[in-house]
Structure 1
Amino acid sequence: MSESKLLDVLIAQAKLSKKQTEKQQKIVEAAIHIFAEKGYANTSTSEIAKVAGVAEGTIFRHYGTKDNLLLSIILPFFKETFPMMAEEVFTEIASNVDSFEEFLKAFLKNRIHFFLENKQIAKVVVKELIYNEELKKDLLPYLSENFLVRVNKAVEFFKERGEFIDIPTDRIGRMLLTFIGGFLVSRLVLLHDYTVTDEDIDDAVSLVINGIGRREDGTE
C-alpha cells in the first residue's frame, strides 16, 4: 500500500463517522496530510487550521487538544480497518510458505516494505505509541490482541507439523510479538535505518528459530 493510498484510507475512514461536521472533515484531512509531511510533534494546530480553512479555536472546540485530534484519526482506522488488513497479510503469507521460518521472514519483509511505503505516517504512529501514554493505553492492547490471534494461529499450524519445542502457543506468540516489534521499531524508528537487507532478516530470524525450533535429532 503506497503512502497516498494509506492517506486515502485514513481520510475515508474519518469520513465514515456520521458525527463529523464538514469542518471536522476538513480539519481531519488537513491534519493527516501535515502529520505525514512534517511529523506529529512538528505540526501546530494553527497550521492545521490554516490548511483546513477554519479558525484555530474550531479545532479546540471539537477536539480539545492535538492529542485528541490524533486519536480521532488513528483509533477508528486501527479498530475498524486494520484487522481486515492484518488478516489479508497473514493469509497471503501463510499460503505461500512451507515452514515457520519462511513465514517469519516473509512477514518481516512485508511489514518493512509497508513501513517504507508509508514511512512518514508510520513514524508518527509508532513514536506516539512510545511517548503518548493515552494512545498507548487505548491502542497497544488492541494491536497486541489482533497480532496474537493471527500469529498464534500460524504457530499452531506449524506446531502440528512438529516445528516447535513444547512451549505453549500463547508464550511463543508473545515472544514473537516482542521480537518483531523490537526489530521493526529499533531499526526503522529509533535508529532510522531504512537499509534492512535480506541478510539482516535471515540472521534475526535464525536467532529466533534456533531458540524455539526443534533440533534435527528431535531433542529439545
Structure 2
Amino acid sequence: MSNQVISTRQRIINAARSLFATQGVTETTTKQVAELAEVNEVTIFRHFGNKHGLLLAVISESPVFQELDESLKIQASQPASVHQALKNYCEDRLQALEKVPDLVRSVVGEAGNYPLENRQALGRSLTQANHYVAEYLATVMEREQLHTHLPADKLASLLNSMLVGYAVIEFTSEFHQLWVDRDEFLENLVALFLKGATNSTSLGESISTEKVIDLPANLVHLILQRAKKSGLRDYALIYILFAAGLSASEIANLERSHQINNVNQHLLQITQGTPRQVPVNQWIMGKRYGSYTRNPLTQWLKSRKDEHTALFLNNEGMPISEEEIQRIWQKLTEGLLTPEGQQPVIEQAQQTWCVEMLMKGMNLEQMNLITGWNLSKLQPYARRSKEKLALEQAIRLDHKSKQVNRES
C-alpha cells in the first residue's frame, strides 16, 4: 500500500512539473494534472490540498532542494580552499537549476498570482534551504579562520539571491554580454563575495593564500596506473587532468578538432572561459607518459570508431558530462589517501599540474596565459612551488652532507 501511495504521489508531481513547465502554473488546472497522471482529481486534493500546494511539492522536491543538506555536508568535508568551496557550491546549485529551466521561468513569472499561504510555504522552503547553506558557509569559514562582517545566514541569503538572479537572466534572455560564460561569472561572484564578506586582513589571506593541496608523485602515478587498468578512455581522461591541468568542465567541452599535435608539440584548444591553448605534457611528476604523437589521449582517439565530435564519450557513446568525469575520478581514487588523510578530489589534479609547471620554470605571467587565472589566484601556487623547491634543495644538501661524512 505504501509503495502505491508513493508511486501515485510521484506520478502527480511528475505530471505537474511537466505541465507547469510547458504551459505555466496559472494555465495549468488540477484536472489536466490528474488526466496526465492518470488519477482522480480528488486524489490531488487529498495529497496536496490545492494546485499551489502541488506547486510547492514540485519545487521542494526538485533537484534544487533535493538532498541539498547531505550534498553540502559532503562538500564541506572536502579539503578545498574557501574560494574553491564557494565556487563548487555555486556550480552545483546552477546545475540543479538548469535541470528545471522552464519551471524556474514559470515560478518567477507567476509568483504574484499565488495565494498568501502558498507564498508563505514557499518562503519556508527557501528559508530551510538557506539554513543548510548557512551551516555550510559557517563550516568553511571557520575552517579557513575567516572573520566575516555578516552572519552566515545573511551571507547565504545574498549568495543564493545572486545565483537565482543569474539563473533568471540566463533562462529568460539571449545574446546578452553581461559575462563571457558561467565560469567567468562564478569567478567574479566568489571574488566579490569574499571581498565583501570578510575583513581586509582575512581577504588578503583568503584570496592570496588560497589553499593549494597538490598530490605527491607516488599518488599521482598510482592514480594513472589505476586509470590505465580501467581502460583507454579513463586513462586518457586522467592523463589530461595531470598533463594539461584542465578542469572537469573544460574536458567535458573538448572536441576532437581542439587537439593540435605533431612530433614537436601536443596542444589543446580551450574554448570555455578564456580562449587559449594548453600544452599536453609528456612528463608528469618525473615520469614520461608517451610522446606528443603517441600517448594515452592519442591512443584513446585511435581506438574510436564513432563519428562523434566530442573528445570524450561516456559508456553510452554520448559526449561525457562533468558529473560523469567526477564519478570516474571518485571510482579511480577510492581507498586512496592524501598526506592529509583525505580521498583525493579532482581539483587537486589541476593544482598538482600548476605547481609542477611553476617548478619547471614557468612564471606567473606565462601561467596566466595558459590557465586564464588572474595573478592573485596564481600567487598561492607560486608559494607552494617555492616551498617544494626549498624542500628539494634541503634534501639534496642532506644527501650531500651524508656523502661528505662518508668520504671523511
Q: TM-score range by the shorter chain?
A: 0.5 to 0.7
Residues 114 and 58 of structure 1: is their aligned pair in 2 closer, same or farther, counting only changes over 3 Å? closer
Number of aligned positions between the proteins = 191
Select the structure that is richer in helix.
Answer: 1
Q: For residue 208 of structure 1, what is the amino acid of its counterpart?
A: F
Structure 2 residues without counterparts, runs of 5 or longer: 206-408
Determine the C-alpha separation between the residues in 2 that align with 1:52 and 1:216: 55
Aligned: 1:34 with 2:19: yes
Q: Deviations over 1:64-97 (max 9, x none)?
A: 3101223345556788843223323444xx43x3
User: Does 110-119 or 44-53 show the bigger shift?
Assistant: 110-119
Determine the C-alpha separation between the residues in 1 that align with 2:49 and 2:141: 43
Determine the C-alpha separation between the residues in 2 that align with 1:137 and 1:181: 13
Determine the C-alpha separation between the residues in 1 that align with 2:55 and 2:164: 20
Match of 1:148, SS state, is helix
Q: For residue 103 of structure 1, what is the amino acid of its counterpart?
A: A
TM-score, normalisation: structure 2: 0.39
Q: Report percent identity of matched pairs.
A: 24
Equivalent position of 2:399 in the other structure: none
Equivalent position of 1:47 in the other structure: 32
Determine the C-alpha separation between the residues in 2 that align with 1:114 and 1:75: 12
User: Following TM superposition, by how much is the alpha carbon of 1:145 offset from its aligned partner in structure 2, in angstroms?
Assistant: 1.6
Residues 82 and 109 of structure 1: is their aligned pair in 2 closer, same or farther, counting only changes over 3 Å? closer
Determine the C-alpha separation between the residues in 2 that align with 1:63 and 1:111: 26
Q: What's the C-alpha RMSD, in Å, of the aligned pairs?
A: 3.7
Equivalent position of 1:201 in the other structure: 186
Select the structure that is richer in strand.
Answer: 2
Equivalent position of 2:134 in the other structure: 148
Equivalent position of 2:101 in the other structure: 119
User: Does 22-31 or 203-212 show the bigger shift?
Assistant: 22-31
Equivalent position of 2:231 in the other structure: none
Q: Do 2:75 and 2:85's aligned partners in 1 also have CA atoms closer than 8 Å? A: no
Match of 1:20, SS state, is helix
Q: Deviations over 1:45-72 (max 9, x none)?
A: 1211211223434433553310122334
Q: Deviations over 1:116-169 (max 9, x none)?
A: 23423455667788864232343133112211112111110011xxxx3x447x
Equivalent position of 2:49 in the other structure: 64
Structure 1 residues without counterparts, runs of 5 or longer: 1-14
Q: For residue 37 of structure 2, what is the amino acid of its counterpart?
A: A
Aligned: 1:189 with 2:168: yes
Determine the C-alpha separation between the residues in 2 that align with 1:207 and 1:22: 45
Equivalent position of 1:8 in the other structure: none
User: Following TM superposition, by how much is the alpha carbon of 1:182 offset from its aligned partner in structure 2, in angstroms?
Assistant: 1.9
Determine the C-alpha separation between the residues in 1 that align with 2:122 and 2:97: 19
Aligned: 1:139 with 2:125: yes
Determine the C-alpha separation between the residues in 2 that align with 1:85 and 1:136: 21
Q: For residue 152 of structure 2, what is the amino acid of its counterpart?
A: G
TM-score, normalisation: structure 1: 0.65
Q: Deviations over 1:98-121 (max 9, x none)?
A: x32232223222322232234234
Q: Do 1:129 and 1:135's aligned partners in 2 also have CA atoms closer than 8 Å? A: no
Determine the C-alpha separation between the residues in 1 that align with 2:83 and 2:12: 44
Residues 123 and 151 of structure 1: is their aligned pair in 2 closer, same or farther, counting only changes over 3 Å? farther
Determine the C-alpha separation between the residues in 1 that align with 2:52 and 2:90: 30
Determine the C-alpha separation between the residues in 2 that align with 1:19 and 1:128: 32
User: Following TM superposition, by how much is the alpha carbon of 1:36 offset from its aligned partner in structure 2, in angstroms?
Assistant: 4.2
Q: Do 1:49 and 1:55's aligned partners in 2 also have CA atoms closer than 8 Å? A: yes
Q: Do 2:76 and 2:85's aligned partners in 1 also have CA atoms closer than 8 Å? A: no
Determine the C-alpha separation between the residues in 2 that align with 1:182 and 1:21: 33
Residues 45 and 87 of structure 1: is their aligned pair in 2 closer, same or farther, counting only changes over 3 Å? same
Q: In terms of Rg, which structure is larger?
A: 2
Q: Do 1:108 and 1:201's aligned partners in 2 also have CA atoms closer than 8 Å? A: yes
Equivalent position of 1:105 in the other structure: 87
Determine the C-alpha separation between the residues in 2 that align with 1:208 and 1:69: 35
Equivalent position of 2:5 in the other structure: 20
